[in-house]
Chain A
Amino acid sequence: MASQKRISKELADCSASPPAGMSITLASDSDVHKWHITLDGPVGSAYAGGRFGLIVSLPTDYPFKPPVVTFATRIYHPNVTNDATGAICLGLLKPEQWKPSTRVQSVLEAVRALLVEPNPDDPLESRIADEYRANRAEFNRNARAYVNKYATGPVTFSSAAAAGSAAGSGSGSGDATGGKAQGS
């Protein structure tokens, strides 16, 4: 399959020069379709000091179908579901917007950018989005409380990994409308 070659190449590139504040490993050496990413909370954001686990699942039809990216670590963020699924709402991961030339590296960078600047106009958690807009201080406090509670120890992918793969099939919730329905 053509995707094998592409994935190997991407994995090699990504491991050699990972995006800022990230390290990449395979969930298991036999499967290049599931990546584990450790992401440091960007300095200057509410998540600074935290370490987050990200799971990237590449579908068999990758790169013609978008990867599924979920947070393995709980995070307080308008665009990430506030539960063990950790589904992310990211425009570039929606099937109709996905381009086969887009690389995992750009996806990871987009996720990082989302931590620096959440997008409250397209929320998965509308309550958090409202808070982000209306009461930034409160939002920052809550986000940091989550960091302290969930994102300080060593990153684990195990508990949420199962949920992450389940989210793979339900990745539809990552799109805007699904997110809004869920948020209400």
Chain B
Amino acid sequence: MSSTAATSNKRIIASAGPEAAPPTPVTTASNGMDSEDDFMSAVSSGDDIQDDSDNDDMSGADDDFDFDDEPDPDLGIHKDIMQRKKVAYDISFKVYEPADIQKQQDVLIDEVNMILDISKEEAAILLRYFRWNKERLIEDYMDKPRQVLEAAGLAQVSASPPKLEVIPGFMCDICCEDEEGLQTFAIKCGHRYCADCYRHYLSQKIKEEGEAARIQCPADGCNLIIDARSLDLLVTPELRTRYHELLNRTYVEDKDQLKWCPAPDCQNAIECQVKKKDLDKVVPTVSCLCSHRFCFGCILNDHQPAPCELVKRWLKKCADDSETANWISANTKECPKCNSTIEKNGGCNHMTCRKCKHEFCWMCMGLWSEHGTSWYNCNRFEEKSGTEARDAQAKSRVSLERYLHYYNRYANHEQSARLDKDIYHKTEKKMVQLQRDSKMSWIEVQYLNSASQALQTCRQTLMWTYAFAFYLARNNQTEMFEDNQKDLEMAVESLSEMFEKPVAELQDPKLKVEIMDKTSYCNKRRVILLDDTAQNLAEGKGDRNLLALAL
């Protein structure tokens, strides 16, 4: 393959990167994607090789799950043809780029502008007042136009659009300036001030208060809203940009089904129809074009399969100091005489308190002198003397051990997930090296990238399965869940092992096939686990199973 082709393919893969992981690539095809789709189809001629290698190891039945396997640059094209089975945890969402967000507003403004015969600026103010609910706006406006205009802060007179004017004999009520030739400005209410004061007022509102949609006329008691056109007339371009940014922000914030992508420096917004009250039944994981995956419900990073409420509790529990106390009570005992806290750090059961020199048995907490000849082998469990202390101890120990069991596994996967970036860079290096050492092309080494992606996503899921399991009551479903978890974990660990092998071994074509098989197996296991869990949650079975949530 020529080097130009190779680089162009590299580019495609990079641009398709974000698509590798999302659960619902098809639905991301929004307005914002059009340009990207075009770009992909324009260069897709070079992808045939990769497509072949993709499909070779996929039987037709696997198509349901292959969306995670490879960062397939042709996604938009051939996925549309192949109807995927809808999995239970799949939710639909759309990603909007800043231009789309602007466009959506413009479309609505144009519609209202035409239907109601009011200016675009006024239509925008009305729409903001009605939180972009166009139907309600039109209905209310038709019903009682006067009240609606007044409530939204619009003038009822239809005067010509405001402009800067010089009025002879004018004195500005704000700065009390009255020199000749003073530029003045007023919106439709007619409250006229000098342009400087107007500018100062606007810049203070925008810069210091971050206000945009509801900046009123500076006159005392006048609640007329300053429209975008008037503002553009007065302020500097820099301030104008900020103003429109703020307006866009209110648009996204006003709509419940829109949320900003929380990734740093990402300006996209996501639309998702999942309602807040359904968050106990679904885990609405969305994926932005910037490749950041997060939960639409709580904006935290992807936490499938655990529902938001559980995640909140789990994180709080992990952050709480209460577990320290738990540890102390499980790992230490009090001296039966002086109540000093003692941690047994080795040695035999014959304890001598450093403080009060009391001698007792660590096992039964009874007096050491009563042990007679059975020293170092306490068999006095039936004795009354230590029973109470042991009971309290045991209870705390069980609950702590249960927590630690889940926490350690959670933390382990979390740590692995944190190394994501590292892994990714390492993979890239490996791929370059492999290309050089063997005679494989860039595309032929892509399987390593897929493996790395699969590892990351699966680890993220595994991590949350442990938090989830901590709150599960024991029953048949738990067993199924744990089986799924075990399968996924085993698959991930074995993939991870293969993946870590030195480049020399990776050149073995047999290993390549194995890694590809394992990658697709991991992804399948993950889908199965998420699907089962999501189904249970949706059917409300999960509800009854979630232990602590009901407590």
Contact = CB atoms under 8 A, between A and B. Distances in A.
Interface of A: 2-3, 5-6, 8-9, 61, 63-65, 95-96, 99-103, 106
Task: Please name the 10 residue pairs, one residue from A and one from B, whose CB atoms are nearest each other, closest first.
Answer: A2-B175, A6-B176, A102-B220, A9-B176, A5-B176, A100-B174, A101-B220, A100-B218, A99-B220, A101-B219
A6 B200 CA distance: 15
Contact of B173 (A3, A65, A101): A101
Nearest to B222: A99
A61 B200 CA distance: 10
Nearest to A7: B176
Contacts of B174: 2, 6, 63, 100-101
B209 A96 contact: yes
A61 to B, nearest CB: 7
Contacts of B193: 101
B332 to A, nearest CB: 40
7 contacts: A2-B174, A2-B200, A5-B177, A9-B176, A63-B174, A63-B175, A99-B219
B496 interface: no
Contacts of B201: 64, 100
Contacts of B222: 99
B317 interface: no
Would you call the interface of chain B mostly helix, strand, loop, or mixed?
Answer: loop
Contact of B218 (A3, A6, A99): A99
A64 B204 contact: yes
Interface string B178-209: 00000000000001010011001100100001
A6 B216 CA distance: 21
Given A101-B218, A102-B220, 12 more contacts: A2-B177, A2-B200, A3-B175, A9-B176, A61-B204, A64-B204, A96-B211, A99-B218, A100-B197, A100-B218, A101-B191, A103-B220
Interface string B159-185: 000000000000001111100000000
A2 B220 contact: no
A96 B210 CA distance: 11
A100 B221 CA distance: 11
B185 to A, nearest CB: 13
Give the size range of B's interface with the partner. Answer: 20 to 34
A106 B220 contact: yes
A106 B211 CA distance: 25
A160 B392 CA distance: 60
Contacts of A95: 209
Q: Which of A3, A61, A99 has most chain B Cβ within 10 Å?
A: A99
Interface of B: 173-177, 191, 193, 196-197, 200-201, 204, 209, 211, 216, 218-222
B209 A6 contact: no
A154 B193 CA distance: 42
Nearest to A63: B174
A96 B204 CA distance: 11
Q: Which of B175, B204, B209 has most chain A Cβ within 10 Å?
A: B175
A65 to B, nearest CB: 8
B179 to A, nearest CB: 11
A63 B197 CA distance: 10
Contact of B196 (A2, A8, A61, A101): A2
A96 B205 CA distance: 9
A3 B197 CA distance: 10
A123 B544 CA distance: 45
A157 B221 CA distance: 32
Contacts of A106: 220
Contact of A5 (B175, B191, B211): B175
Contacts of B200: 2, 64
Contacts of A103: 220
B216 A99 contact: yes
A3 B177 CA distance: 10
Contacts of A5: 175-177
Contacts of A100: 174, 197, 201, 218
B452 to A, nearest CB: 49
Nearest to B200: A64
A100 to B, nearest CB: 5
B278 to A, nearest CB: 32
Contacts of A63: 174-175
A66 B271 CA distance: 40
Nearest to A92: B220
Contacts of A64: 200-201, 204
Contacts of A61: 204
Nearest to A9: B176
Contacts of A96: 209, 211
A61 B205 CA distance: 13
Contacts of A3: 175
B293 to A, nearest CB: 36
Nearest to B173: A101
Contacts of B173: 101
A65 B193 CA distance: 17
Nearest to B208: A95
A36 B175 CA distance: 22
A6 B175 contact: yes
A169 B18 CA distance: 49
Nearest to A99: B220
A102 B204 CA distance: 16
Contacts of A2: 174-175, 177, 196-197, 200
A163 B372 CA distance: 77
B153 to A, nearest CB: 13
A96 B215 CA distance: 10
Contacts of B204: 61, 64-65
A6 B71 CA distance: 66
Nearest to B209: A96
